Chain A
Amino acid sequence: MTEKDTSQLPPSDGKGTESLAEDFRSNAVRDAVLLPILSVFTGLFIGAIIIIITDNTVITAWRHVFDDPLAAIAATWTSISVAYGALISGSLGIVEIWHGIQAMMQGQGSAELGVAMIPLAESMTQSVPYIFAGLAVALGFQGGLFNIGGEGQLLVGGLSSVWVGYAVTGLPWFIHLPLALLAGIIGAGIWGAIPGILKAYTGGHEVINTIMMNWIIISLSAWLLKVGGPMSREKLPITPEVLPTAQIPQMFSTQGNRFHWGFFLALAVAAFVWWLLYKTTLGFEIRMLGANPKAARYSGIHVRRLYVIVMTVSGALAGLAGSVQTLAVDHWVGLGFSGGLGFDAIALALLGKSHPLGVVLAAILFGTLRNGATRMQSVARIPIDIITIVQALVIVFIAAPAIIRWIFRLRTGGEAAAPIFTKGWGS
């Protein structure tokens, strides 16, 4: 990688420097913007193919393709347009919003618009945990650590916050709510720190250890939440409801609109992570560790301490995803609460190039997709897991830009440095 980087430096002979620099800039821009967009597009396209080839009506229509070729094509089109139509209307609802605005202009009040806004607001709501979890993975990537434990960490965060939210009583909201958030941060921070400590002092690879930590908390939460367990309700395997003093308030009063202030907290935390990474010494050390751990060690950086710090902060960020989701939207935790979010976070951190701004944009995209997929599941009966498939494909395309370049016949060049984790086990 380093050899390639130096070869891209403009030559020193003055002549032609400008055009080369311009070329480089355009390549970099293309890589940062065009490749992710094309990756998502290709992922959705392959997702469409999977939807089509698993649709019975379409398969039947194609069986009789020689009798009625148009019907086969029509069935294919219907299948995919119903599915992705539901995806779009369920996540954005632009047409409905337009009607709502028209109604308001005609003086019929804003009620219709309020209802029409729900899909969009829900998409933003769903992107909140993605922002936190994506930042967690991105921070790890920046430090050369691969945190796959987001799933477990956000469960720990959610459980800790909810526990403070219902078990601690008699506090005013301005103490109770921060306390609940803090509990989630600390709990998940510790949960993330354990693999970090193991990595730093024993060399146990964080990928396997974070996954083991996921399974451990899944088993333990089954015990915590089972009926009669320490955190369950009397007859339901879920935690009691968080007290109003610990809830993050929702912004709109429209029934069904769950958009909440946590969205802005997420943006603030993203800004904080950006500041941490790019404006502080610690951030510089983290990025150096990620770029070249050997160089980091030789330059006197306390690498072990840094591993622990990165994993702790990463765990805390993932924990916030769980905390905010429970305190603002769900108000309780049940089994299967994390729902694959920790894995989605990997895809979106890669998509956002591990940059906080990129992560926020990718998270909004994923929140929108996930929200639309819920609608797609109810309307077109397509399992929501199609989104997981699309995300896996996105990871592949982002990690192997050569595939996208080959599909779309893009010129090579401006190869951005992909994060490298595979340095063997236990180093």
Chain B
Amino acid sequence: MTATATSFSPDSYAGRRERRKAIAYGVFFLLVAAMILWFFAAHSEGGIISTMKLNPTTKAKIIKVPDLKLPTLTTMIVLGLLTALIGFYQIIRGFKNVYLWLGIVASMFVFAFLVWATRGRSINLLGILTFAVAAASPIAFGALSGVMCERSGVINIAIEGIMLAAAMMAVVVASMTDSQWLGLVAAILTGGLMGWFLAILSIRFMVDQIIGGVALNIFALGITSFISQRFLQPIPDLNSGGVFKKIPIPGLSQIPIIGPVFFNHTPIIYILFILVIAIHFMMWYTKWGLRTRAVGEHPRAADTLGINVFLVRYVNVIVGGMIAGIGGAYFTIGSVGRFDENITAGKGFIGLAAMIFGKWTAVGGFLASLLFGFSDALQAKLQILGKAQVPIPSEWLLVIPYVVTMIVLAGVVGRTVPPAADGQPYEKQ
């Protein structure tokens, strides 16, 4: 509720509240430090080394870097003591930007966990990061779609359903034409069509946008499962669209670490990078972006100034649907090449959370998606390490992205302010 201002006098009610909050964060940091020392440091022996591989396993042309070899016990103790130090400082003096330090402490905990889990073994850290970017991409497309829609004042909770429908259309068209590019076009068109439906419902018929979105989600789930059972299962040829080939970008992909992580992917992910920049530029440096934001903040004022509120919203929601459609294509022709029922598994909703986390901006949403993608990748790679290294059931790790989403939504990382007219239908007077 209250901002993180430190200007309150310590005696006032708000001041005391702020102080209590600051101490609570400090105690939390100390708890994290205790966990690192208790669980990880106490359960690792001296002399054992954790190896983090930083070079691709394939014979790609790349400038090699030495692998990261960390003595497990020492790393644990250093990380634990550092976290404790941050905690003590937070309690005694208090950091100005506590959320930043929360992020740092969380990263240190995750890193400690990773190093501990690989004690005496090696893990392909580069592989985790590369997969994180790939896993982040559908979430990021969802976030971008959300930014397009919500900046113009339309809540798009149907991203999940749009992705699901697009994922199926992509694989079907790619299977029939033997071209992933045509599959991608089909996914974009499907997304645009679904976006158009949502726009009609929420703009023309002024249906509650959450209900309209949920209806679209249920419809997408029903129609894709129906078609999957009626056509894709009896005719497997319709459900083998192949996967986009990875295209390393010449030059850039040879940079150590960053090259393979960001510049050796399928075209879908390059489209994502381009879109992040394009939407950022469009939203903040063009006439259309200004109109979009005006319509999302105060549609009546925008209307008075001669902006066509309905047109702006229609275009943004349809384009948003198309973007979500590309994200849908990732699930099939961007990763596994086939469609399964409910293949999106809630990623569309996580995309919305990423959008909120990223404060309704393209770049912020993208960075937030990387966080979710990382938790996804971590979960996948920890499973490979096996029970002896990570004594946690793999199903528990599956929960991580969803729990992170809820924590993010709870505003642990700072309050976010949506566009003022978000979700409100506009009625012309």
Binding site for B on A (CB under 8 A): 50, 54, 146, 148, 198, 202-205, 207-209, 211-216, 219-220, 222-223, 226, 340, 343, 346-347, 350, 382-383, 385-393, 395-396, 399-400, 402-403, 418-426
Q: Which residues of the partner chain A approach B424 to less than 8 Å between Cβ atoms?
A: 422, 424
Q: Determine whether the beta carbon of A392 is less than 8 Å from that of B219.
A: yes
Given A204-B410, A343-B221, A426-B356, answer yes or no on A400-B210 (Cβ-Cβ < 8 Å).
Answer: no
Q: Name 5 extra pairs, CB < 8 A, besides A226-B395, A422-B423.
A: A198-B406, A208-B353, A386-B222, A400-B201, A400-B207
Q: Which residues of the partner chain A approach B222 to less than 8 Å between Cβ atoms?
A: 385-392
B247 within 8 A of A: no
Q: Determine whether the beta carbon of B211 is less than 8 Å from that of A216.
A: no
B177 within 8 A of A: no
Chain B proximity of A206: nearest CB distance (Å): 10
Residue of A nearest to B409 (CB): A204
Q: Which residues of the partner chain A approach B398 to less than 8 Å between Cβ atoms?
A: 219, 222
The distance in angstroms between the C-alpha atoms of A214 and B342, with both chains bound, is 14
Q: Which residues of the partner chain A approach B111 to less than 8 Å between Cβ atoms?
A: none
Q: Which residues of the partner chain B approach A391 to less than 8 Å between Cβ atoms?
A: 218, 222
Q: Determine whether the beta carbon of A385 is less than 8 Å from that of B226.
A: yes
| Per-position 1/0 for B239-259, Cβ under 8 A of A | 000000000000000000000
Chain A proximity of B210: nearest CB distance (Å): 5
Q: Which residues of the partner chain B approach A204 to less than 8 Å between Cβ atoms?
A: 406, 409-411
- Interchain residue pairs with CB less than 8 A apart (23): A50-B226, A207-B157, A208-B353, A208-B409, A223-B396, A350-B211, A383-B226, A383-B229, A385-B225, A387-B222, A388-B218, A388-B219, A388-B222, A388-B226, A389-B223, A392-B218, A399-B205, A399-B215, A400-B205, A422-B423, A422-B424, A424-B422, A426-B411
In B391-428, the 8 Å CB interface with A consists of: 393, 395-396, 398-399, 402-403, 405-406, 409-412, 415-416, 418-420, 422-424
Chain B proximity of A211: nearest CB distance (Å): 5
9 nearest A-B residue pairs (beta carbon)? A388-B222, A223-B395, A422-B423, A392-B219, A204-B409, A389-B222, A383-B229, A400-B205, A395-B215
Q: Determine whether the beta carbon of A212 is less than 8 Å from that of B346.
A: yes
Q: Which residues of the partner chain B approach A386 to less than 8 Å between Cβ atoms?
A: 222, 226
Residue of A nearest to B348 (CB): A211
Number of A-B contacts (CB under 8 A): 162
> Looking at B209, B210, B211, B412, which has the most chain A CB atoms within 10 Å of its CB?
B211
Q: Which residues of the partner chain B approach A425 to less than 8 Å between Cβ atoms?
A: 155, 356, 416, 418, 422
B349 within 8 A of A: yes
* Number of interface residues, chain B, beta carbon within 8 A: 51
B208 within 8 A of A: yes
Q: Which residues of the partner chain B approach A389 to less than 8 Å between Cβ atoms?
A: 219, 222-223, 226
Given A347-B218, A422-B423, answer yes or no on A212-B405 (Cβ-Cβ < 8 Å).
Answer: yes
Chain A proximity of B45: nearest CB distance (Å): 29
Q: Determine whether the beta carbon of B230 is less than 8 Å from that of A396.
A: no
Chain A proximity of B216: nearest CB distance (Å): 7
Q: Which residues of the partner chain A approach B218 to less than 8 Å between Cβ atoms?
A: 343, 346-347, 388, 391-392, 395
Chain B proximity of A93: nearest CB distance (Å): 25
Q: Which residues of the partner chain B approach A212 to less than 8 Å between Cβ atoms?
A: 346, 349, 402-403, 405-406
Chain A proximity of B365: nearest CB distance (Å): 14
B71 within 8 A of A: no
Given A219-B398, A403-B205, answer yes or no on A208-B405 (Cβ-Cβ < 8 Å).
Answer: yes
Q: Determine whether the beta carbon of A219 is less than 8 Å from that of B399.
A: yes
In B167-224, the 8 Å CB interface with A consists of: 201, 205, 207-212, 214-216, 218-219, 221-223
From the candidates A222, A383, A421, name the one contacting B210 in the complex (CB within 8 A): A421
Q: Determine whether the beta carbon of A422 is less than 8 Å from that of B209.
A: yes
